[in-house]
Structure 1
Amino acid sequence: MFTGIDEVDWASLRHAHGSAVEVPGWLRALASADSAERTTALDGMYGAVHHQGNVYDSTLACVPFLFALTAREEVPDRGALVELLVSIGADSRDADARAREAVCAGAEGFVALAGDPDPPVRAAAAGALVHFLAEPARALRVLADRVRAERDDRVLLALTEALGLFVRRYPAHADAAVDLLTEQSAPPYSPGTRLAALGQLALCAPARLPSGLVPTAVRLLRKRSAHRVPPGPGTDTLVGRIRRLRPSDEEGSRLLRTLHTALGDRVADRTVLLLGQLTSPDPVDRCNGVWMAAALFRGWRGDHTRTVELLGGQLATAHDRLREAAVTVLAELFALAAPAADDLHALVSTRPDLWTHRWERCAPTLGGPLRALARTGDARAVPPLAQLLAGPAAPADLGFELVHLGLAAAPLAPAVRHRLGRVPLASASTARLAAPLLSAVRALGDEDAVPEVLRLLPGGPDGTGAPGATADQAIETLEALGAAARARPLLRSLLRTRHAAAAAGALWSADGDTSAVLPPLLGELTEGDPVNRRRAARHLGRLGPAARPALPALRRTAEAGPARVRTSAACALWRIDADPGPVLPVFRTAWAEDPRTRLPVARCLGAMGTAAAPLRDLVAAELAAPRRHTAREGGYGGHIPEDEALLRACGEVRSGMGA
């Protein structure tokens, strides 16, 4: 197995953390009879030699020895080694084609492993045949032979997924593979295999699907779950911990996730599938359904009321993992979680121990159930929040959630004000403690908090103030409270600092003195960082026609630079000059270039009324689109409140155009 291993100059090779001198020891340990030693060695391979999917010269040097290990039946856990080889050659994040070439050179070994006595080895080899065997027709013959001979359901699942991969990878050779998948989607194959085949057909050959796909899938899921064997305990290693973080039924999760992926924009069908998952008698199925609901919510628009109600129904479960998953997802929904508000309130009322959450060696944060309830805007969140604020260790992030409660949280204003007055200045914790409280003060409109806000301004009453972004937030809070006039001299002194844009906006709101604020705003527009350039453009737009001297600089800003800066400049151009000519092309380009610009663009279009008509197509397409505008593939990255705000803004634009 290790012939030639000592002839490799491992010390000169590198892995993620430096010299690869310890790699031969890991390779030898992979063949150890001691399972803990083997798992520790596999940790080393994934944690250094193939760290985060990357490939190093030491990774390439390991490939022949990994193949040698997989060929020896006496070596335990060879399935994990085949998976490592597949990851190196097929799933690597490294663009170096040498990794694939190195694994392809040993691809003949995967043919033998496809019939290995060890089921995990056969399962791992199935996909490897498709990835690395040079002859597609031969790979398909081997897969077909194995499907006919295989009796282990887990290996059959791997073979089914390999067939789907084959269809996508080699469409010219796909017909026979699709026939096999169609055969596997019906009796006498097991429910799990049939589910896997339906998912692969939905991905690559939807015309071959049977009618009633979703009800069939739900029925098969429940049959499968009735006979599922729970996983055993994991090891206390990196690989073991990663495996424990996966769903307790990772196989079932993968089967249903494949179906959801295949259904894509068919939100109604996916919702019916989720309803089947979330009403399953099996709490593990329901937990998987919760996470798949999260992906749907993040990535797709639609009427999610019934799904949210079923998430709320999971909160009374005795299964901690299921309850925690449902709480986590509901907290992401903000106002869309309102159909579960009664269930959230019941959990908050009966489990005060969940009002806060404390990570090891970290300050407490607001607990998920109370956070989710507050984000729905439900006033029933106020009493427990008041109790926390009255205690000695209120979560620092609590103030952010008061924003969603609006004036319902007004009774909490004195406690918020008190805590704001105790925020240490010029400290590493200043921003973390002050930002949530300033957000709450703005939302509550608490004018009595002005003294506490003033102390955060640079050069404030105690001469210290708060650093950086916190000072800008304090200035904007003064402006929001209509109290900027009380800090007029201080704001004027800040016009020559990094806080010039925020100070100029607040100063203008106090006395409307354009001559005082126009020069610093122009300076920030042309020379500030992107945040201050956008802030300066926004304040120039507020000045209206009085800011006409800024038009040349705004036009230049709207023509070049980041899309969000260009968008802010174009909005200001409209508010100052009311000429749609130079504005609408900027909006159209930014809309396509950076989805984050769509909400401010839509709001400006709403103010333009009929002048926005040339961009009617953008608004109509957005309102008709099933996907959230900032979502990425797989249902990641979509910020739900921002997308809901965009839909509302687009609806107002359409109404303003008379459509």
Structure 2
Amino acid sequence: MIRAHDVDWTTGHLPGQVCGVPNQLEDMLSPDPAIRAGALEGFYAEAHDQGAVDPCTLMSLPFLFDMADDAATPDRGEIVGLLLSIGRESSDRDPEGVYFTVNGVASTAHVDITAEMTVRADAFVRYAADLEPSVRRPAIQAVGLFLSDGERAARVLAERLPAEDRIAERLLVVRTMARLALRLPETKTTVALWLDGLIDDHEPSHVDAPVRLSALIHRALIDSDRVPASLVPRAIALLRESTLTPTADKLCNGCRRCQSSSHVRGRDVVSQVLPPHLAAERFDPDHHWEEHSPISSVLRTLHTALGELVAERTALLVAQLNSADAATRYDAIAMTKDLPGTLPRPVLTSLLGLLPDDWAAVLVIQGGFSQWWVSRLRIAPEDSELLLDAVADHMATLRITYGGDVWATDNALIRRAYQEAVMTLADHRDPRALPDLVRSLETRVDDWRALYGVGAYPDAAGRLVPLLADGLRNIDPARPHAPIPAGLYLSCLADLKSPLAISVITDTLTWASRHQSWGVLTDALNALATFGHDAQPSHSIVRPLTDAPDKEVRAAARATLDALTTPSETEV
């Protein structure tokens, strides 16, 4: 039991403002997990929002350390992790700087917090030897960050390596040791000798291939800014020895990623357990939402060091994408986006080789090639055919396995991979996407997605325009932007550039004007304007709208009239 209310928490707050930190600190000890989780979230929001530190953050440290010291405290790993975050953010700030709290109060709390962390560094040494891995993991990092005696910090970390039986903590020890050498240059020789010993030591069970890989990479980085020519080949050799998947594949029981893709517009889908995919623990504290494998943080470090050395990074990525470890392969997919320039052919070939793996297919196609995603990969023009043929072959395989209408299959993972494959073909105006786009509009199953691709097929306007017209007729005038915005249908009609679309747009102008649906009117006018002089017969419908009550409609109507009355360059 802590007595947080015995402290004056008004420092750093405006007059009359109530600080919620004491309640949150006490609730962190609640027997109810939900209350504890809410208290921790509330503390972050009030006293450590986006890394901020202020007087109440400083005042909370004695209570947090008391909780971390007590073995009976629930969620101790979260408490130690919070202390690490507070100390790290404080030490990263300018010790001579003055910062302001969210209330506009000047604060130098970061200076006092940094000093407090140094004074209490022995606590982190104890936590680093705790029985709970969740406590040891942040404590290991804190030892390297807060101990002022570098040689002692190096000894503590070196002793932790053989004591750790999990690969995540062993790799964390190696990385923390390397960062210690950068923080305290006087430890560089000690750390370098220790890393050299790991690289060449094949005997102890705790010095396996991943540990030697991490030691090799960090040794090169602390020794010189120049990457040795032998580094990447040696790293690849050690990567190939690191074939043990750190966590077993397991059935997904509804992870956030899969739940987000489980809804199908157009019909009800029964909730189901998906086929196996890697629902792995997140290992790397710096990329805890991205990494499936503990090895990946080490490889990401190497990619960062290689920078613009595309040939070396290509060789490394090819080895990652062809690893026997599924988690390493999945993480490599994300790393391909960081390569400068267009995607090298060997990397593209390796990526496409992963398509038979359904989970990899989702990561590759959705995260890499669809224009829907901002961070997509750039493909050299000469490789477009290779990409599109591979994607089309993958779609054909899925149709054979799951039936003809894979676009609407109940399996969320397969549906997602297939739909993204269709949209990738549509991005390149490939005719092999058209049958699925048409079927989606006909059945209205996930038709919102298909609408982003149909504008690429003007030659199929005869089939597409009536389907788009049906969609517009089903728009509720009271809710013209839900579930699919009328403007999306209208932009598709404009993209198709078919004379058949003009009457559909003018019909939309009529009903939208009748219902005073100003947003739809604006979108319809803008769509009609793209047809220029060809839409001149619509002049009588457009002109009255120049006096509409809505200023955006009036402006769009005037611009449309100008477009209708101005002959095209061809006519001139």
Counterparts of residues 417-496 of structure 1 (less than 5 Å): 417-429=469-481, 432-457=484-509, 463-464=514-515, 466-468=517-519, 470-482=520-532, 483-494=534-545
Residue among 205, 214, 226 paired with 1:196 = 214
Bigger mean CA deviation after superposition, 17-26 or 255-264: 17-26
Q: What displacement does 1:335 show?
A: 8.2
- Cα gap change, 1:433/1:308 in structure 2, threshold over 3 Å: closer, same or farther? farther
- Cα gap change, 1:303/1:322 in structure 2, threshold over 3 Å: closer, same or farther? closer
- Cα gap change, 1:265/1:85 in structure 2, threshold over 3 Å: closer, same or farther? same
Counterparts of residues 558-573 of structure 1 (less than 5 Å): none
Q: Spell out, residue by residue over 1:487-518, the C-alpha distance to the aligned partner (whole angstroms, 9 max, x if none).
A: 334544555632455444433332239xxxxx
Structure 1 letter corresponding to 2:496 = L
Q: Spell out, residue by residue over 1:99-157, the C-alpha distance to the aligned partner (whole angstroms, 9 max, x if none).
A: 46325313233335335432634442333244334x4xx13542245325631254442
Mapped to 2, the partners of 1:410 and 1:197 lie a distance apart of 63
- Contact residue 79 and residue 124 of structure 1 kept, 8 A: yes
Is structure 2 residue 151 aligned with structure 1 residue 117?
A: no
Q: Which runs of 5+ in 1 are unaligned?
A: 514-541, 544-659
Residue 308 of structure 2 aligns to a residue whose secondary structure is coil
- Cα gap change, 1:366/1:193 in structure 2, threshold over 3 Å: closer, same or farther? closer
Mapped to 1, the partners of 2:34 and 2:251 lie a distance apart of 13
Is structure 2 residue 320 aligned with structure 1 residue 277?
A: yes
- Cα gap change, 1:163/1:28 in structure 2, threshold over 3 Å: closer, same or farther? same
Mapped to 1, the partners of 2:71 and 2:140 lie a distance apart of 17
Q: TM-score, normalised by structure 2?
A: 0.72
Residue among 315, 319, 324 paired with 2:362 = 324
Mapped to 1, the partners of 2:255 and 2:46 lie a distance apart of 14
- Cα gap change, 1:419/1:390 in structure 2, threshold over 3 Å: closer, same or farther? same
* Residue in 1 that maps onto 2:230: 212
- Cα gap change, 1:82/1:461 in structure 2, threshold over 3 Å: closer, same or farther? closer
- Cα gap change, 1:288/1:203 in structure 2, threshold over 3 Å: closer, same or farther? same
Q: TM-score, normalised by structure 1?
A: 0.63
Q: What displacement does 1:77 show?
A: 5.3
Mapped to 2, the partners of 1:353 and 1:98 lie a distance apart of 61
Counterparts of residues 64-83 of structure 1 (less than 5 Å): 64-73=62-71, 75=73, 78-83=76-81
Q: What displacement does 1:439 show?
A: 2.7
Mapped to 1, the partners of 2:253 and 2:452 lie a distance apart of 39
Q: What displacement does 1:430 show?
A: 5.8
- Cα gap change, 1:103/1:201 in structure 2, threshold over 3 Å: closer, same or farther? same
Q: What displacement does 1:180 show?
A: 4.2
Q: What displacement does 1:485 show?
A: 1.6
* Residue in 2 that maps onto 1:158: 172
* Residue in 1 that maps onto 2:7: 8
Q: What displacement does 1:88 show?
A: 1.8
Mapped to 2, the partners of 1:404 and 1:436 lie a distance apart of 14
Q: What displacement does 1:373 show?
A: 3.3
- Contact residue 334 and residue 372 of structure 1 kept, 8 A: no
Is structure 2 residue 562 aligned with structure 1 residue 511?
A: no
- Contact residue 29 and residue 73 of structure 2 kept, 8 A: no
- Contact residue 123 and residue 155 of structure 1 kept, 8 A: yes
Counterparts of residues 138-287 of structure 1 (less than 5 Å): 138-147=149-158, 150-151=161-162, 152=164, 153-170=167-184, 174=188, 176-188=190-202, 189-201=207-219, 203-207=221-225, 209-226=227-244, 228-230=246-248, 246=289, 249-287=292-330
Mapped to 2, the partners of 1:57 and 1:207 lie a distance apart of 39
Q: What displacement does 1:313 show?
A: 2.6
Q: What displacement does 1:401 show?
A: 1.5
- Cα gap change, 1:389/1:232 in structure 2, threshold over 3 Å: closer, same or farther? closer
* Residue in 2 that maps onto 1:28: 29
- Cα gap change, 1:170/1:411 in structure 2, threshold over 3 Å: closer, same or farther? farther
Structure 2 letter corresponding to 1:117 = A
- Contact residue 4 and residue 26 of structure 2 kept, 8 A: no
- Contact residue 5 and residue 22 of structure 2 kept, 8 A: no
Q: Spell out, residue by residue over 1:163-202, the C-alpha distance to the aligned partner (whole angstroms, 9 max, x if none).
A: 3333444557655545544544443433222332344356
Mapped to 1, the partners of 2:500 and 2:253 lie a distance apart of 56
Q: What displacement does 1:275 show?
A: 1.2
Q: CA RMSD in A?
A: 4.5
Q: Spell out, residue by residue over 1:390-417, the C-alpha distance to the aligned partner (whole angstroms, 9 max, x if none).
A: 1144522321122345536763332123
Mapped to 1, the partners of 2:545 and 2:240 lie a distance apart of 66
| Count of residues in Structure 1 that have an aligned counterpart in Structure 2 | 496
Mapped to 1, the partners of 2:46 and 2:419 lie a distance apart of 36
Q: What displacement does 1:377 show?
A: 2.7
* Residue in 2 that maps onto 1:106: 117
- Cα gap change, 1:232/1:373 in structure 2, threshold over 3 Å: closer, same or farther? closer
Mapped to 2, the partners of 1:447 and 1:202 lie a distance apart of 65
* Residue in 2 that maps onto 1:539: none
- Cα gap change, 1:212/1:340 in structure 2, threshold over 3 Å: closer, same or farther? farther
* Residue in 2 that maps onto 1:291: 334
- Cα gap change, 1:81/1:163 in structure 2, threshold over 3 Å: closer, same or farther? same
- Cα gap change, 1:407/1:235 in structure 2, threshold over 3 Å: closer, same or farther? closer
* Percentage identity across paired residues of the two chains: 25
Bigger mean CA deviation after superposition, 382-391 or 307-316: 307-316
Structure 1 letter corresponding to 2:360 = L
Residue 485 of structure 2 aligns to a residue whose secondary structure is helix
Mapped to 2, the partners of 1:186 and 1:465 lie a distance apart of 77
Residue 150 of structure 1 aligns to a residue whose secondary structure is helix
Q: Which runs of 5+ in 2 are unaligned?
A: 94-98, 101-106, 257-278, 283-287, 380-386
- Cα gap change, 1:168/1:431 in structure 2, threshold over 3 Å: closer, same or farther? farther
Mapped to 2, the partners of 1:376 and 1:287 lie a distance apart of 25
* Residue in 1 that maps onto 2:343: 303
- Contact residue 536 and residue 564 of structure 2 kept, 8 A: yes
Residue among 307, 311, 314 paired with 2:354 = 314
* Residue in 2 that maps onto 1:613: none
Mapped to 1, the partners of 2:377 and 2:408 lie a distance apart of 18
Structure 2 letter corresponding to 1:281 = A
Structure 1 letter corresponding to 2:27 = W
Q: What displacement does 1:251 show?
A: 1.8
Q: What displacement does 1:259 show?
A: 2.0
- Cα gap change, 1:140/1:452 in structure 2, threshold over 3 Å: closer, same or farther? farther
Mapped to 2, the partners of 1:17 and 1:216 lie a distance apart of 58
Q: What displacement does 1:36 show?
A: 8.1
- Contact residue 389 and residue 415 of structure 1 kept, 8 A: yes
- Cα gap change, 1:236/1:480 in structure 2, threshold over 3 Å: closer, same or farther? closer
- Cα gap change, 1:455/1:81 in structure 2, threshold over 3 Å: closer, same or farther? same
Mapped to 2, the partners of 1:258 and 1:507 lie a distance apart of 58
Mapped to 1, the partners of 2:432 and 2:71 lie a distance apart of 63
Residue 226 of structure 1 aligns to a residue whose secondary structure is coil
- Cα gap change, 1:382/1:140 in structure 2, threshold over 3 Å: closer, same or farther? farther
Q: What displacement does 1:435 show?
A: 2.8
